[in-house]
Copies of this chain bind each other. A is one copy, B any other.
Amino acid sequence: MAADNPSPLPLTRSRATRDPEGTQRALLAAATAEFAEKGLAGARVDEIARRAGVNKQLVYHHFGSKENLYRAALEQVYAGIRAQEQALQLSELPPAVAMERLVGFSFDYLVEHPEFIALLNDENRGRARHLPDTAQLQDMHAPLITLLHETLERGGREGVFRTDMDPVNVYISIAGLSYFYFSNNPTLSVIFGQELSSARAVAARRRHVIAFTLAALRA
């Protein structure tokens, strides 16, 4: 789309010597990748700085500590999925179509954002100790549950969905069917002797998840 990056700022290291926002962005991106790969304990501040192309001490200047940086990365990762969910516009679609789109989105997002899973896994082992601002997180997810609730009810009224399922559990099932496939892909691949990360296997899984969910919900 025409002249990308018109600014004189180089994309890598030595960021024009003075660019606090760029520095913070670079650190956050590097941190997300490093934490996703190695977890909070395994990640190295040195390595994060190296990846960001900045001096290590800037981590402390801008974020105060490794743990704060981790928190910031978590927050950003949640904000990412929220932003895209809100753009789904499900309420205007027929219930079954809306549900299929939601399941598909949940699946596709994880394909494109493997760091989301990795960060959440570590955070869950730590009993969600670093989760940023609880109220904000709940506010961010409430619309999703409301939407799911409405869609299930609409489907029930129209006779296409069963009416005995708790929306929160339905959401967890939808998320889990996709999430588990990706989060445990390495061990599952070994166990079953199949390369479950191949494009072919992923596509098959996507179809399965949609079919499985819609069958489970149908009246």
**Which of B125, B164, B211 touches A39 (beta carbons < 8 Å)?**
B125
Contact with B along A165-206 (1 / 0, CB 8 A): 110111011011101110111111111111000000000110
- Which residues from chain B contact A191 at a C-beta distance below 8 Å? 137-138, 141
A154 to B93 CA separation, bound complex (whole angstroms): 38
Assess whether A215 is interfacial by the CB under 8 Å rule. yes
Which residue of chain B has its CB nearest to the CB of A44? Answer: B41
Assess whether A58 is interfacial by the CB under 8 Å rule. no
Contact with B along A116-160 (1 / 0, CB 8 A): 001011111111100100100110010001000000000000000
Assess whether A40 is interfacial by the CB under 8 Å rule. yes
Looking at chain A, what size class is its interface with the partner chain?
35 or more
- Which residues from chain B contact A126 at a C-beta distance below 8 Å? 186
**Interface pair A185/B145, CB less than 8 Å apart:** no
How many identical subunits does the complex contain?
Answer: 4
A90 to B189 CA separation, bound complex (whole angstroms): 24
A-B contact pairs, 21 of them (CB 8 A): A39-B39, A39-B122, A40-B42, A118-B125, A120-B184, A121-B183, A124-B183, A134-B193, A137-B191, A138-B190, A138-B192, A165-B208, A169-B205, A169-B208, A173-B177, A173-B212, A175-B180, A177-B180, A179-B180, A183-B183, A215-B218
